[in-house]
Amino acid sequence: MAHGAVFTCWDNDGSGGWNAAKTGRDVIMSTGNNLYINYNIERTTLKTTYDFDPAPASAGLSSEARRHVLGVEACLWGEMVPENHLDSQAFPRVLALAERGWGIARYDFADFLERVQVHVNRLAGMGVVTGPAFGYPIIPTIPARVRNALPSLVYSASQNQNDEDWRWALTGIDRGQGYDAIYPLHAFDGDLETFHLTWGPRKEVDTFTIVLKEPQAFDHVQAITGLANGDCILRQGVLETSSGYGRWKEVARFQKGVAEAKLEDGKPVVAVRLRSTINQSPFDLLAVREIILEKDGQSTLKEISPVERLRLPPAVAKGR
C-alpha cells in the first residue's frame, strides 16, 4: 500500500485494521460484524453497533498506534437495500456509530437507549422513518398466515417454504445479508412502512394470499402495493376474497398499484388474494405493502410511534 494512504478496515473483527495501525498506517475502522448496516437488524442490532470499540485494550495498541486509528465508518451497500428503505436501514444504528466515533467516557448502553428514544422523535419530525433497534418477531395484525406464491428474491435454501400448515416457521431471508423487507408477513403487520419485496409476478401464476385463522365479515378491503416513491407496484392485477374452499370472488382491480372494495354481502372472509393479470418483468420488482381489512370503522392498520418502531425487547424496555 502506498506510503501515506489511509487503510480502511473491512474485515469482520477489526484485526486487520489494528495490525495496520501497529505498523504506523492511518486506519478507518469499518468492521463487518458491527458496522455493516446493510445487514439486517437480526444480525447487526443497535447494541452490536454500540458495542464496537475502534481501539480496545484487547487489540494491544500502543499510544502511538492508537493515534493512527483515525475514526469509524458504517457501510450501507446499496445493492442490498431499496432506496426507500435506506433511512430505516441506517437509523437508529448510525446514532450508535456517532456516539462511539466521538468517544464515550464509559460504556452505558441503557443511558444511550434513553437518548435514542428522544432522537427518533426528532428524526420523525424531519420526515425520517427509523427502523427497529433489535430483531423482533413479525406478527400479523390479526391472527393469519401467508400463502406466498410470489417468486422469491432469495434462494430457496435460505428460507423455509410456506405451506398450508399452521406449524410452519418463517425465516424469509438469509440472516447474513440483506434487509428485512423480504418477510411475507410484513404485508399484513398493520404497518405501512414495512413491505414484502419480490420479483415481478407472472400472469395467473404468482399470487399472494392472506389466510385468516378465523373467518370474519368485513366492510372494506384494500391492498396497497409499491413503495412510497411509487416504484414496485403491481402493474395490472385483481384483488379477490374467498369465503372458503377455493370460492374466490374478484372484488376489485388494481389501479396505480392499489385495489379496494366495499364488501356488502356479509359473508365471512376466509382469505384475501392478489393476483397478477399480466406477465410483469421479473426485474420490475413488486412490493406488497399492506393488505387492510376494516369492519365497523375498525381497521387492521395500526398507528406506530417512532419509539414503538424501535421494537425494544421487553427485558430491555423494562430496564431503560
What is the sign of the dihedral through the CA atoms of 2, 102, 132 and 306? negative
Taking residues 192-214, report their average pLDDT. Answer: 91
Percent of the chain with pLDDT over 70: 88
Q: Which pLDDT score, from 0 to 100, does residue 102 have?
A: 87
pLDDT at 296 over 80: yes
Angstrom distance (rounded) from CA 83 to CA 63: 41
Inter-residue contact 40 to 180 (CB < 8 Å) = yes
Taking residues 32-58, report their average pLDDT. Answer: 91
Inter-residue contact 89 to 81 (CB < 8 Å) = yes
Angstrom distance (rounded) from CA 24 to CA 93: 30
The pLDDT confidence band at residue 50, using thresholds 50, 70 and 90, is very high
Q: Which pLDDT score, from 0 to 100, does residue 166 have?
A: 34
Q: Which pLDDT score, from 0 to 100, does residue 80 have?
A: 65
**Which of 35-39, 163-167, 308-312 has maximum average pLDDT?**
308-312
Q: Which of 146-160, 179-193, 289-303 shows the lowest mean pLDDT across its residues?
A: 146-160
Taking residues 260-266, report their average pLDDT. Answer: 90
Inter-residue contact 21 to 61 (CB < 8 Å) = yes
Inter-residue contact 295 to 267 (CB < 8 Å) = no
* CB-based contacts of 23, cutoff 8 Å, min separation 6: none
Question: 233 is written with which cell numbers?
Answer: 407496484
Global pTM reads 0.81
Radius of gyration (C-alpha) of the chain in whole angstroms: 23
Taking residues 207-222, report their average pLDDT. Answer: 94
